[in-house]
Structure 1
Amino acid sequence: MAIEVKIPQVAEGVESATVAEVLVSEGDKVEKDQSLISVESDKTSVEIPSSDSGTVEEIKVSEGDEVKVGDVILTLTETDSEEKEDEDEGEDEVENETESENDDKAEKDSKEKDESKSEEESEKKDKESKESKEDTGSDEKEEEVEEEKSDKTEKEEKGKEKKKKSAESEEEKEEEAEEKTEKESEKKKQEKSDKKESDKEKNEENLPAASPGVRRLARELGVDIHKIKTENDRISKEDVKAFAKKDEESSTESTSTSLPDFSQWGETEEKKLSSIRSATAKNVSKAWKEIPHVFQFEEAEISGIQKYINEHQEKAKDAGGKLTITAILVKICATALRQFPKFNASIDFENQKMILKKYINIGIAVDTDKGLLVPVIKNADRKSILEISTEITALAQKARDGELKPDEMKGGNFSISNLGGIGGTNFTPIVLPPQVAILGVSRAQKRPIFKNDALDAGTILPLSLSYDHRQIDGAEGIRFLKWIAQALEDPYAALLEA
């Protein structure tokens, strides 16, 4: 028996990926969880493991193919297939004997049925022949009667015409003309009415069958329900969503800017987009189109945090990590999400619900040669800063080496993007659905500040918060960001309030 090994969901929200490398050949024996192929998407680059052990029978994909969740990678033959084949052969022999006996019985029954049928058909033909003769005699009599009636009618009509010609007057002619005009007018009105009824019935027949809830969803998504085609008797919500997604993709492609021939002004070079970059472009375009973004800015004085980092850096190195402002922000944001639960939620507009999550997973944006990847720190609120810093270091290295597993990319509730190591004063990151907010961090700078009514030197960290305005209002956004800034400046006070 052949076992189909299929593409799993490699990361949250990722439905397709590109095959980067095929790691096995036909005829190879593989064990369960052994890597079969390597794929790349906008969020990850991972190896797909085998769901079973066996011998590779047929490979269904090749390098460069685009695959979707549920597509078959290859088929495996179980190791005990020979024993099963012997059992199957024995079963086949028993089945063949049974089928032979059934065929003999069926042939006998068929002969008896054919003889019975032949007798019935003979009786039926005799009966029809008698009825035909009776009908023929009846028809001849009816024809004679009709001819007599026709002759009589013709004579009567000729007599009437003679009387009519002699008795007609000009007034009678005018009345007949008016009556004829009225009849034609009524006939035209009736024809128009019949046509309207026919068109109405035709439109009602063409209306697709769908429940009120499905029609409401189609209106909310801006979908013309008459354009949806389905193999079922009724249009479902899944049909509406699939049509909306397809329509959105075609709309995005059709609105792409048409480029001129740049070679007319100088030398050019073309390079194909990586699968991660191509998928990222589609996802951020979709997020920007669907989510009404609001951007909030704040600054935090982090001289005390920097001192803490310098004092505990050696402990982090001994544990295999590196203590950074990002690790501290993960811990602070985890506490903030407990204080502001609407930021740790997702919106379900189809069912008009807000899904509040009781766990806290925070994604960390990592810059790689292939594009931006976002591994997730699970249960960040339950981990120490030292544990978080060690995990960030390990996940970032995996991302750069293309070794992140699908589970390490899923389940994020909130994200942090820190570009401070590169530079910049502020930026506005795009929210990653189904999340509702993301924190942007830029480079800290030395500035003169006032402390206790006295001028002093301080280290200022720029923060930017992007959030979904459908879920979060401006007042809530600034309270959340202000809480994070104050926690950076005085973490002990933040912990006391939390």
Structure 2
Amino acid sequence: MSESKTFHLPDLGEGLPDATIVEWFVKEGDVIRLDEPLVSMETAKAVVEVPSPVSGKVLKLAGAAGDIVVTGSMLAMFEPDASLPQRAEGQDTGHHHGPPKPAAVGATSVANPTPDAAPIATDVAPTEADAGTVVGAMQSSNAVHTEQAIAVGGVKAMPAVRAMAKKLGVDLSRVRASGADGAVTMQDVKQAAADGSTLLPSPTARAVGGEGAQHPVAHARTESSSALRAPSPEGRREDQRTALSASGKPMRTQPPGVSVSGQPEQLKGVRRNMARVMADAHAKVVPTTLSDDADIHAWTPGNDMTGRLVRAIVRACKTVPAMNAWFDGDKLTRTLHPQVDIGIAVDTDDGLFVPALRNADLLDAGSVRESINRLRTQVEDRSIPPSELTGYTISLSNFGMFAGRYATPVVVPPCVAIVAAGRARHQVTPVMGGFESHKVIPLSVTFDHRACTGGEAARFLKAMIDDLALPG
């Protein structure tokens, strides 16, 4: 027997400390060839297919769908086959496959490392040093946090299985369960999607005795996912890849609102990354907020609220370049940007996304609206490239579309400013000869006081208010 080779989970982008297993394309005992898809992993921003680093027999896999694997820990173990193509030693694959490096001697951590709370783990290696994440102390180990199948609506299934059922339009209550303790498995869902005749009668049909009643598959899905083909039964390895994975369309590991059990649950994907980013911002930024109202009484019909806010930010950035900047607190350097790339906060059930509206200073009102609609659609169907979620120079949160007047939005480094717009309202305004009812937008600007002065922030806010006061 050849020597076994351990494949460690590579950094799937931007130094994220872990990823969640969505779907394995092989099982233990299978033979896989070099660069064939091994597994799909969900990071904070997308689902990434990880190729096999070797050709050979799969000896061991780290966990099941829904499990969280720490970057650098064991993902799979292989027995290489010398008769099949192999990658040359030292050949660059673009990923770092080795285990996490131990912390340097004398390195100082932000917080004292503490183990994760009561993980259910397999193949737990001795505890390693802090992996240096933005949270502070994140234990780096081979621990795989296993999710339990949860009964919701009388159907027991893991969150990842529910996510797959939702994407494929399969009613879980009609799927024949083959898993332990009556749980619906991933294969059960795929089989049901491929062959509708295996579905159980709908609860309504059973109640009225209509055994032959045909229950339509749910159509509540996004436009992009509705065009996907149902996966074929397992056969060739290419067939084992679901249409969802093969098309490159991302998918959630846990749909929102699945379980309200009152029990602790592991944060995953977007929410997990959001927690880290917010903690990092809180630790690094010195935030100060200014608030005021912008009078939009002069607006002519047809003005787009978000479009006008974008235009006002652009005008203000040109007036006060210090707010359209990046700041490096470690090196004490500041970068002023000639272009204005605005991060537009998009709230979703999965968590907060901030796609970048590139070159907003070159876009007219129609192009701004078209670009925002495109970004929102890409966020909703999780098809947005990770590159579009970074690199913005200033941010906008239009939370007023829901509720609220003023806010203290969070500045995320390296940016130095974020604008928040509250809910528009009418207020009594003194005018020559009496009073009038004017519509106003509450504005809040939070800035990093290490990089910007209060005067710069105030002039920025005034420039926005002046632009928003114009008719169109």
TM-score normalised to structure 1 length: 0.52
Question: For each residue in 1:17-53, what CA deviation from the matched residue of structure 2 results, as whole angstroms up to 9, or x when unmatched?
Answer: 4315126336698999989524142xx3x12146799
Partners of 2:411 and 2:446 within 8 A in 1: yes
Q: Which residue is equivalent to 1:403? A: 383
Question: For each residue in 1:298-341, what CA deviation from the matched residue of structure 2 results, as whole angstroms up to 9, or x when unmatched?
Answer: 110123446232xxxxxxxxxxxxxx412322233133223322
Q: Distance in 2 between matches of 1:407 and 1:381?
A: 20
- 1:411 is displaced (CA, Å) by 0.9
Q: Which residue is equivalent to 1:417? A: 397
Give matches, 1:322-361, under 5 Å.
324-361=304-341
Q: 1:269 aligns with which of 262, 277, 283?
A: 262
- 1:242 is displaced (CA, Å) by 7.1
Give matches, 1:9-158, under 5 Å.
9-10=12-13, 15-19=16-20, 21-22=22-23, 24-25=25-26, 37-41=40-44, 44=45, 46-49=46-49, 58=58, 62-67=64-69
- In the comparison of the two structures, how many residue pairs are matched? 310
Three-state SS of the structure 1 residue aligned to 2:429 is strand
Residue 39 of structure 1 aligns with an amino acid whose one-letter code is E
Q: Which residue is equivalent to 1:297? A: 291
- 1:365 is displaced (CA, Å) by 1.0
Three-state SS of the structure 1 residue aligned to 2:293 is strand
Q: Distance in 2 between matches of 1:28 and 1:329?
A: 56
Q: Distance in 1 between matches of 2:105 and 2:272?
A: 38
Question: For each residue in 1:390-444, what CA deviation from the matched residue of structure 2 results, as whole angstroms up to 9, or x when unmatched?
Answer: 1212222332333332112111211111111111121111111121111111100
Partners of 2:420 and 2:444 within 8 A in 1: yes
Q: Distance in 1 between matches of 2:79 and 2:470?
A: 62
Give matches, 1:180-195, under 5 Å.
none
Residue 16 of structure 1 aligns with an amino acid whose one-letter code is P
Three-state SS of the structure 2 residue aligned to 1:342 is helix
Q: Distance in 2 between matches of 1:23 and 1:372?
A: 27
Partners of 2:271 and 2:351 within 8 A in 1: yes
Q: Which residue is equivalent to 1:428? A: 408
Three-state SS of the structure 1 residue aligned to 2:467 is helix
Q: Distance in 2 between matches of 1:24 and 1:33?
A: 9
Partners of 2:19 and 2:71 within 8 A in 1: no
Three-state SS of the structure 2 residue aligned to 1:420 is helix
Q: Which residue is equivalent to 1:96? A: none
Q: Distance in 1 between matches of 2:362 and 2:72?
A: 35
Q: Which residue is equivalent to 1:462? A: 442
Matched, 1:474 2:454: yes
- 1:458 is displaced (CA, Å) by 1.1
Partners of 2:327 and 2:335 within 8 A in 1: yes
Unpaired runs of at least 5, structure 2: 87-103, 113-128, 140-260
Q: Distance in 2 between matches of 1:491 and 1:52?
A: 59
Three-state SS of the structure 2 residue aligned to 1:393 is helix
Higher RCO structure, 1 or 2 (CA under 8 Å, sep 6+): 1
Q: Which residue is equivalent to 2:153? A: none
Q: Distance in 2 between matches of 1:5 and 1:244?
A: 18
Q: Distance in 2 between matches of 1:376 and 1:408?
A: 6
Three-state SS of the structure 2 residue aligned to 1:433 is coil
Closer, same or farther in 2 for the Cα pair 1:369/1:75, shift >3 Å? same
Q: Distance in 2 between matches of 1:396 and 1:299?
A: 27
Question: For each residue in 1:251-271, what CA deviation from the matched residue of structure 2 results, as whole angstroms up to 9, or x when unmatched?
Answer: 9xxxxxxxxxxxxxxxx8224
Q: Which residue is equivalent to 2:248? A: none
Partners of 2:24 and 2:65 within 8 A in 1: no
Three-state SS of the structure 2 residue aligned to 1:411 is coil
Q: Distance in 1 between matches of 2:365 and 2:412?
A: 25
Residue 64 of structure 1 aligns with an amino acid whose one-letter code is G
Q: Distance in 2 between matches of 1:307 and 1:21?
A: 48
Q: Distance in 1 between matches of 2:369 and 2:33?
A: 36
Larger Rg: 1
Three-state SS of the structure 1 residue aligned to 2:339 is coil
Unpaired runs of at least 5, structure 1: 86-207, 225-240, 252-267, 310-323, 493-498
- Structure with more of its chain in helix, by fraction: 1
- 1:278 is displaced (CA, Å) by 3.9
Q: CA RMSD in A?
A: 4.4
- 1:222 is displaced (CA, Å) by 8.6
Question: For each residue in 1:127-164, what CA deviation from the matched residue of structure 2 results, as whole angstroms up to 9, or x when unmatched?
Answer: xxxxxxxxxxxxxxxxxxxxxxxxxxxxxxxxxxxxxx
Partners of 1:7 and 1:68 within 8 A in 2: no
Q: Distance in 2 between matches of 1:366 and 1:469?
A: 26
Q: Which residue is equivalent to 1:280? A: 274
Three-state SS of the structure 2 residue aligned to 1:48 is strand
Q: Distance in 1 between matches of 2:133 and 2:309?
A: 36
TM-score normalised to structure 2 length: 0.54
Closer, same or farther in 2 for the Cα pair 1:77/1:366, shift >3 Å? farther
Residue 249 of structure 1 aligns with an amino acid whose one-letter code is A
- 1:386 is displaced (CA, Å) by 1.3
